[in-house]
Amino acid sequence: MHTSPLAQPGTGDAGGMNVYVLEAAKRLARRGVAVDIFTRRTSAADAPVVEVEPGVIVRHIAAGPYEGLDKEDLPGQLCAFAAGMMRVAAHAPEGHYDLVHSHYWLSGQVGWLAADRWDVPLVHTMHTMARVKNLHRAEGDAEEPRGREIGEAQVVEAADRLVANTPDEARELIDLYGADADRVDVVTPGVDLDVFRPGDRHVARRSVGVPEDAVLLLFVGRIQPLKAPDVLLRAAGNLVRRNPSLRSRLVVGILGGASGSAVRSPMALERLAEDEGIADLVRFVPPTDRETLATWMRAADVVAVPSHNESFGLVAVEAQACGAVVVATHVGGLPTAVGDAGVLVDGHDPHVWADAIEGVIDDPVRAAELSRRAVEHAAHFSWEATAERLAAVYDAALAAPLRASINDSDVLTGIPTAVIP
């Protein structure tokens, strides 16, 4: 509901979940599972219906003004969004939809209503959770609201199956939300191995305008405290102070757009680069298409993923598929995404991060071995495998009796008024 799978990842609220929904849908369709994706219309230019490929249709639903609504404002549009979905379904044959798979808690609330109305199973993927984010909140990030926690708990209770990206996320659903372990399935996201693949680093560097002898450190993602691009800048400043001769070769690439609280202070990273004395070494690159993104990853010595929390960390696997050495925080789903083919760092101390990065760029033999292992590790993640596992989850949901109806008195209590006026 809060972001379209057709949006450019890396800015606003568009990120790994957008990629997940679109890529999984395409692979499901190729397996014979037709997919309608309902998303909120955010521009007058959005066509009501977009056929991405045979079997995958994106339907833009009018729910509130096209522009000017933050994600925090969207609970008030749940009813409008649900009504738009019901209008579409009213024109379809009876029993047209076999199952609802909702992504993120806002969509989970609407998916709960739709699944009950259509008398079909509800499968839900959280992607991120309020209680987890609040446990790992970055400095400058607001605490996730109590209303979101309540909404997530309701969806966990209502869903017939819950899909977790990693075993860690499955444990969080069980431990923090009381999910029934028998209803939780682990399905790791995939990577497009045709796009994200190894290649000649020198060719890649010429393509993105980076000197062949440079030391290129790369951050890819939305610019917000949760993703912690500041950690890479502080670590880079530390590296230059340790080894002044590095200044002539160091390039720090920041690929992404402002998101979340960073929208209110768009120049914060530029000011930090100045404070660290590396403003002349940093390149800020707006979100780009996937082919160009893969080229940047092939060009990099290190791709840093310093997030405070990630349900999976898709960018880490995409970078590894390109042969990049990934240095990532040891948190959330990143240990699963990175495995032993990268470097995991405890915490966000820039000195520790500088040590970890230095251990890669100063040791070409180790870097080459990590690059080789990265490609092997990433090869285990494909969208085809993700779709196959999702299809098995759908089969399990369809084979089991449906859970409690939204009309049951014990479930009705506490339903947000935007859904049940």
Q: Does residue 298 have a known ligand-binding role? A: yes
CB-based contact 302:281 (threshold 8 Å):
no
Question: What local confidence, expressed as pLDDT, does residue 413 receive?
Answer: 42
For residue 317, is it within any domain? yes
Banded model confidence at residue 135, pLDDT cuts 50, 70, 90? confident
Q: Compute CA 228 distance to the chain's CA centroid, rounded to the nearest angstrom.
A: 15
For residue 1, is it within any domain? no
What would the pLDDT profile of 234-276 be if each residue is shown by its tens digit? 999 999 999 999 999 999 999 988 765 544 455 689 999 999 9
Q: Does residue 133 have a known ligand-binding role? A: no
Question: What local confidence, expressed as pLDDT, does residue 399 receive?
Answer: 96
Q: Does residue 367 have a known ligand-binding role? A: no
Can you tell me the mean pLDDT for 334-348?
95
Together in a domain, 184 and 296: no
43: left (phi over 0), alpha (psi -120 to 50) or beta: beta
Q: Does residue 1 have a known ligand-binding role? A: no
Can you tell me the mean pLDDT for 194-220?
96
Q: Does residue 103 have a known ligand-binding role? A: no
For residue 11, is it within any domain? no
For residue 3, is it within any domain? no
Q: Does residue 244 have a known ligand-binding role? A: no
Tell me which residue range forms the domain holding 140.
16-190+384-412
Q: Does residue 9 have a known ligand-binding role? A: yes
Q: Does residue 15 have a known ligand-binding role? A: yes
Q: Does residue 300 have a known ligand-binding role? A: yes
Can you tell me the mean pLDDT for 98-107?
96
What share of the chain has pLDDT > 90, as a percent?
A: 76
Q: Does residue 128 have a known ligand-binding role? A: yes
What would the pLDDT profile of 32-69 be if each residue is shown by its tens digit? 999 999 999 988 889 999 999 999 999 999 999 988 78
Q: What share of the chain is helix, strand, coil (3-state, %, to 5)?
A: 50, 15, 40
Banded model confidence at residue 16, pLDDT cuts 50, 70, 90? confident
Q: Does residue 16 have a known ligand-binding role? A: yes
For residue 92, is it within any domain? yes
For residue 4, is it within any domain? no
- The residue that leads in pLDDT, 99 or 222, is 99
Together in a domain, 80 and 205: no
pTM of the model: 0.84
Together in a domain, 401 and 372: no
Together in a domain, 180 and 215: no
Q: Does residue 222 have a known ligand-binding role? A: yes
Region of poorest pLDDT, from 108-112, 197-201, 258-262: 258-262
For residue 262, is it within any domain? yes
Domains in the chain, number: 2
Together in a domain, 75 and 218: no
Together in a domain, 211 and 133: no
Question: What local confidence, expressed as pLDDT, does residue 14 receive?
Answer: 65
Together in a domain, 32 and 125: yes
Together in a domain, 213 and 64: no
Question: What local confidence, expressed as pLDDT, does residue 409 receive?
Answer: 43
Evaluate the CA torsion angle 103, 107, 108, 112 in order and state its sign.
negative
CATH of residue 97's domain is 3.40.50.2000
